[in-house]
Structure formats: C-alpha cells, structure tokens
Amino acid sequence: MHPGSRLGSVYLCREPVDFRKSIGGLSALVEQDLGMSPFGDALFVFVNRQRDKIKALYWHRNGFCLWYKRLERQRFAWPALAPGQRTCTLNLQELEWLLEGFDLWSHQPHKTLHYEAVT
C-alpha cells in the first residue's frame, strides 16, 4: 500500500462485488451495506465473482486510495459465507498470505491447549 499509511484492520467483504465500481461505489458500499466508516485506518478488500481480481480501498490523509490485483491463471481463496456475517477480519500478515495464494480457511493452525498442572 502507500508508504507511510497506517492500516489497522483489514476487512474482506465476503460477497463478490461488481468490479465496475470504483472509489465512489466501493466507499458507499462500505458505508451503506457494511455499516462501517471508510475514513478510518481500515483496509477494505473486495473480490469479483470469478475470484481472480481483488480491489482494496483505504483512506490516506486527504483522499481514497484504490489498489487492484488481477491474477492471470488462478483464483484467490475466499472465506465461505456465514449467515449474517458480511466481513471477515484479517491482519496484514494474513492479507499478504492471501495475496500470495494461500488458503487461510482450509488450513487450520495447531489447536491451543490449556493445562492446569504438569503432573
């Protein structure tokens, strides 16, 4: 993203969007459909129906920035829809893995174990 920009949260919009939308349409979608402010320190990531294109929208000081990536042969892994959940939150490392082609939802980390005593 833009050098010097500070991004806190990364939100994946789970529903595919019409990629004819640009900054105006995507920022309105964030406000109206997702009920979030597009002017914070968040990055909003959108995918098209074929999952071969991603657009990322964020606010930087005095204007919106729009980032676009198109895959030539493969598809982006995307989370399955859960009832009532419109976004999925990632950290920046997970976003990097998503952009590199890793499926974050089919590979689960080791389970956390909780013990009370050693013996």
Residue whose structure tokens are 């994946």? 12
User: Tokens for 23?
Assistant: 């900054």
Judge whether residue 119 has pLDDT over 90: no
For residue 68, give the H/E element and its range: strand 63-70
Judge whether residue 67 has pLDDT over 80: yes
User: Tokens for 98?
Assistant: 């998503």
At 24 the pLDDT is 97
Mean pLDDT (whole number) for 65-78: 91
What mean pLDDT is reported for the chain? 88
Mean pLDDT (whole number) for 93-114: 79
User: Tokens for 41?
Assistant: 């320190």
- Integer-rounded Cα Rg, in Å, for the chain is 16
Judge whether residue 5 has pLDDT over 70: no
Mean pLDDT (whole number) for 21-48: 96
Cβ atoms of residues 5 and 92 within 8 Å: no
